Amino acid sequence: MDITTLRELREPPVAVLRVTGPLTESGALIEQAQAAFDKGMRHILIDLSNVPYMATAGLRALHAIYMLLREAAGADAAAVGSGISAGTYASPHLKLLGPNKHVLEVLKTAGYDMFLQIHTNYQQALESFG
């Protein structure tokens, strides 16, 4: 797996993590997200368009990144949980781009589509941050 980090200098600035190859371990993706976070990035788009397969370690990485950003934003956990249950919440800080049908099925089966927006268009994904 290879991860390339780009910075989209827009308002708000967005770190784009482009993952290439099977997402079968969590450490590298979490480290890249943490590095972007440490540089002040509070909005992250993870590009999964070149990921042919995602294992549970990939799900753990996405969850860890989601929690990092959610906690930094000071989101009320109870309100977020209620919003997820009601289908009215989507993370404003972490979004996904371009998973293939197999990866999308993994994300949906795990329920990640209930709290993460999944985009098919790069520009629209960036614009969704505000």
Looking at the predicted structure, is the pLDDT value of residue 76 above 90? no
**Would you place residue 87 in the very low, low, confident or very high pLDDT band (cuts 50, 70, 90)?**
confident
- 85 is in which domain, residue-wise? 2-127
At 88-105, the pLDDT tens digits run 899 999 999 999 999 999
Residue 80: give its domain's CATH number. Answer: 3.30.750.24
- Average pLDDT on 33-51 reads 98
**Would you place residue 74 in the very low, low, confident or very high pLDDT band (cuts 50, 70, 90)?**
confident
CA distance 130 to 8: 13
Number of domain units in the chain: 1
pLDDT of residue 48: 99
Whole-model pTM?
Answer: 0.94
